[in-house]
Amino acid sequence: MNRIGIIGLGTIGEDVAAAIHSQLAGAAELAAILVRNRSRWQDHPLSPWIFDDPEAFHATKPTIVVESAGHEAVRLYGRDVLANGADLIIVSVGALADETLLSELKAAAEAAGRRIIVPSAAIGGLDRIAAGSLGPMEEVSLTTRKPPKAWYGTVIEREVDLGGLTEPYTAYEGIAREAALLFPESVNVSAALSLAGVGMDETKVKVIVDPGISRNMHEIVASGRFGRIRLELENTPSASNPKTGYIVAMSVVKAIRDQSSVFVIGI
């Protein structure tokens, strides 16, 4: 039985915890949830599992920890999670645009004999991209389109009147490393795609605010010795956090379930 720790109790953290309690995550049980201030959660149904002391959190001995609290949480807790003997599932994979952090986490995982797991989350095709990267790859690109409500609280809100947009607005065009750092809550997909494929400085990214859509959309194009892939995804935004979609928590739950399953699809 895997014991699951969760860092962060936002939309994704709550959905993952609910799935564990509903037995959708296979042979898994909730061990602990780490938040910044436990007093905010005293009346929450998950209160018995909630801690704001990292040492107390680690003392519950989770075997898998899900990070769902943002880039800073990866920096603060990632190494300790691995050193304390748990595999680390990273949702805020854009934090790994920091090469030093990525190297330190890999070293910590190797020293502890644990693994860092990056789920597909909001995009698909990572299995094919990762397989294709074993041979020469010519190009990998990502175009992300989200409705205006998904960009409130980001740097884009300071650039354009989101409520007044009547046509698509290209907010960014460049490389994945920069995109992942500019939009830490909204373009983590670019980092995951880059790590699976040709790297963050070679993966091209375009970010578009589109008032004509209601779903978060991603288009992936990649080509190489394996052939060519063009993949379009339309994700339903979460009602409580339009920056993310329901599929993100579903992907994390699948990653947890796969750890105890005798039959695994999509590696």
pTM of the model: 0.93
8 Å CB contact between 24 and 253:
yes
- Is 90 exceeded by the pLDDT of residue 116? yes
More confident residue, 33 or 126: 33
Cα 265–chain centre separation? 20
> What is residue 87's predicted lDDT score, i.e. its pLDDT?
98
Confidence of residue 237 (pLDDT cuts 50, 70, 90): confident
User: CA–CA separation, 200 vs 180, rounded Å?
Assistant: 9
Mean pLDDT for the chain?
A: 94
> What is residue 125's predicted lDDT score, i.e. its pLDDT?
87
91, with CB counted inside 10 A (0-12, 13-18, 19+), is buried
Q: What are the pLDDT digits (tens) for 42-99?
A: 999 999 999 999 999 999 999 999 999 999 999 999 999 999 999 999 999 999 999 9
- Is 90 exceeded by the pLDDT of residue 233? yes
User: CA–CA separation, 88 vs 28, rounded Å?
Assistant: 15
Q: Domains of the chain: which residue ranges?
A: 2-122+247-258, 126-243
Would you state the torsion angle of the CA atoms of residues 96, 99, 103, 108, taken in this order, to the nearest 10 degrees?
Answer: -40
- Is 80 exceeded by the pLDDT of residue 114? yes
CATH 3.30.360.10 fits 126-243, yes or no: yes
Q: What are the pLDDT digits (tens) for 159-184?
A: 999 999 999 999 999 999 999 888 88
pLDDT-wise least confident of 1-5, 49-53, 106-110, 176-180: 176-180
Q: What are the pLDDT digits (tens) for 189-213?
A: 899 999 999 999 999 999 999 999 9
**218 among known catalytic residues:** yes
Q: Which of 44, 58, 71, 218 is catalytic?
A: 218
Confidence of residue 186 (pLDDT cuts 50, 70, 90): confident
The superfamily (CATH) of domain 2-122+247-258 is NAD(P)-binding Rossmann-like Domain (3.40.50.720)
